[in-house]
Amino acid sequence: SIQETDFIGDTIVVKAFMRHGPRELYLGARWGGFVSENSNDPWGGFFVIQDDTTQINTYVGYLEEGDEVYFTGKLTTYYGLTQLNLLTNPPVPVAIVSSGNTFPEPLVLTMADISSNYAGEKYEDMYVKIENVKVTNNDASSGQAIISDGTNIGYIDDYFMCFRKLTDQLIVHWPANGSKINVSGYLRDSGYGYFSINPRDTTDIVTLAVPPEVTAINRSPALPTSVADSTVITATIKDNVTPVANITAYLHYSIDRQPFVTKTMTLGRSGFVAGIPKQSDGAFVRYFISAYDEENNIGMMPGDTTQQVFFYTIRDDGYSINDIQNPQGYKYMDSAYEGYVVTLTGVVMTDSTDFVNNLYIQENDSIWSGIWIYDDDFPKPNKGDLIRVTGTVVENHGHTQLSTVTALEVVTPNYGVFEPVKVNVADIKNGGALAEAYESVLIEVDDVTVTNPFPDGNYNYGEFSISSDGINSTRVGDDFLSFKGQLDTLYALGDHIDKVIGFQAYSFNYFKILPRDTNDVIGHTSAIEKKAPVAVSNYRLEQNYPNPFNHETNIRFSIPKSENVTLTIYNLLGVKVRTLCKGKMSAGTYNFRWDGLDNSGRPISTGVYFYQIQSKNFTTTKKMLFLK
C-alpha cells in the first residue's frame, strides 16, 4: 500500500514479486518493471526502475519473472506514476527471497473502474483484465488503441517492447476497429486523467469477434467548397473471411447536425465509394462508414461515433483556426484536419527569438483561437504582425500544430497582439473542462501559490505546479528560451505569484502554461523566510500575526530537521478549511501567508479558527480570530 503514503522522496525497502523480466519495457537505457504483492488486493501493484544500467552490481538485470525480491530505493513520482528509483550510487543489491513463484489470474475490472485517475489509482501497476470491449480506434496517437464498452472509453498502450517495436516500424498492431476483445495488461497512469492498459504480449489480447476492417478513408476534394458538385468518400475495406465483393458498406452523413443519411457504397478500383451532395458555404458536414461481412459482423470507422466522427465545414474563403482546433463537441481531441494542408490567418503572439523555429498565432482572444506553428525553415514575422500562413496540420503528441510551412505573408504589420485571457486553474488543468479549448492561446491565472516545486520528483525538468484554491493545480513549463522556470530552483513550496501569463500547451501527458519570459510571472513573493544563521534546535509554532485579522495573516513555525510537514486550518467544528502546506521541508523557520480563503477559494466567515502543524514527531495547535 505504498501509494497511499506521503513519503515521496524517502528511501525505503520494498518486498515484491517481479511480474516480468527487467528488459521487457520501453524504458530506454534503463531496467525496470511492474512488481506486486502475490494477490489481487487493491494497492498491491508498484513500479521499480534503475536509471543507471552500468551499475550491474544491483543485480536487477538478472531478475526473472516470479522472483520475490527486496528492493531499496527512493520513492518518486514520474508523470503521475508512483515508482521506486533503485539506489545506484553506491549500488544497493537486490535480495532474492524466492524464485519461480506463480501468480493469480488478472483482476477483472470494468471500464468504469478505470475511467478516471481517482477511480483507477488503487489498481495502478496491477495486472488487470477488461472484458467484452470494442476497439474503436486501433491507430490512435503515440501507438495507442482506444476501446469502449459503450459508455466509457479506455486506452491500450505499447509500453512493452513486444508492441513498441511495431509502433516504431509504423505498423498498426492492435485488433481491427470494431473488434470485440478481452484485454489483459498492467495498469499505468498516463498523467492525463486516465490509465492505460499495457498488454505484455499478444496472448494478453483475446479477439471475440472480428468485423470488416475499414481503412484508408479519403475525400475529394480534401477541403470542399460550395463550388464542388459533391464530395467523394473512398474507403478500403477488408475482412479475414468474407471476400471483398461480398462486403456491404454504407456511408452515413449529416448536414448541420441533422439526422444521418445512409447511402450504399459501391465497390470500384479504388475501393468502396459514395458521394456527399453539394452543400452551401458554411455547411457543417459529418460522416462515418460502416461495413458488414457475411456473418453480419459490423465494422465502423471511426469505431465509436459517440466519441468521434469525420467532419468538415464548407469554406469558400478559407478556414479559421477555430475550424482546425474545435472538436465540435466530440471527446476525441485530435484535429479533424490532421494531415491536410490549410491556410490560416492570425496575429503573431511571440517573437521569433522567444522559441526558435516556433510561433504562436491567434485569431482572437477566446477558446479554440490559437495554434502553434513549427518549422525549421520559414520566414519569421514580428510579434504583432497579422499573417497568413499555409502548412500541414499535425498532432505533436497530442498538441495540434501547423508544420511544413509552404507560404507565409504579412497581411498587416504591427496589427497588435491580443491581451491574455483570464482563466481559472480548475478549467485548464489536466481534465479541466477548457484545457484543450485554450491550447495555444495566451492565458492568465491570478493569485496562485506554488503547490509543488518539483512535480517530477527527483527529476527537475524546469516545471513547477501552481494552484489558486489548494485543490486544483496545473504546471508551469520552461519551453521558451527566456524563461528557465524551475531550472534555477527559484520557486519554493508556498510561494505566492500575483499573475502567471503564458500559452496553454500540452506535452509529456500534462497541460501546462508556458510563460514567454520572466515578465510573464508577476508578483512572485517567497512564503519562506529562513532565520539564518541561527540554527533551529526545537519545534515551534508561533502565534499568527496579525491576530485578529480581517484580510490576511502570517503563520510561522520552526522544525529542527528535514521531514514531511503539514500546516492545516480548521474551523470551530474541527472541519478542515485550508491546507497551507504539505510536503517535505528542510530544517529551518518558515512563514506562510493565509489569505482568508478556504480550499475552494471561497472567503471564510467571521469566527474562531485553529491552525495546526503536524509532522512525524510533533503536533501542536493554536487559535486565531478572523473579523470581517
For range 152-174, the mean pLDDT: 89
Q: What angle do CA 460, 566, 118 make, to 5 degrees?
A: 70
Per-residue pLDDT tens over the stretch 441-493? 999 999 999 988 888 766 678 899 999 988 899 999 998 888 989 888 889 88
pLDDT band (50, 70, 90) for residue 523: very high
Least reliable range by pLDDT among 177-191, 487-501, 516-530, 604-618: 516-530
Q: Which three cell numbers stand for residue 330?
A: 466530440
Question: Distance (Å, rounded) from C-alpha 502 to C-alpha 517?
Answer: 9
φ, ψ (nearest 5 deg) of residue 16: -155, 170
How many other C-beta atoms lie within 10 A of the C-beta of residue 620? 12
More confident call, 406 vs 78 = 406
Return the pLDDT at 527.
67
Question: Distance (Å, rounded) from C-alpha 413 to C-alpha 405?
Answer: 20
Q: Over 70: is that where the pLDDT of 4 sits?
A: no
Question: Distance (Å, rounded) from C-alpha 86 to C-alpha 47?
Answer: 11
Return the pLDDT at 458.
64
C-alpha to C-alpha distances, 149 to 127, 304, 515, 570, nearest whole angstrom: 19, 10, 40, 43
User: Which residues share a beta bridge with 360?
Assistant: 372
Return the pLDDT at 296.
87
For the chain, domains (ranges, CATH) are: 2-98 (2.40.50.140), 107-209 (2.40.50.140), 213-313 (2.60.40.10), 321-412 (2.40.50.140), 421-525 (2.40.50.140), 540-626 (2.60.40.4070)
Contact criterion met (CB below 8 Å) for 491 and 455:
no
φ, ψ (nearest 5 deg) of residue 154: -145, 180
Q: What 8-state DSSP symbol labels residue 425? A: H
Question: Distance (Å, rounded) from C-alpha 61 to C-alpha 589?
Answer: 44
Model pTM above 0.75:
no
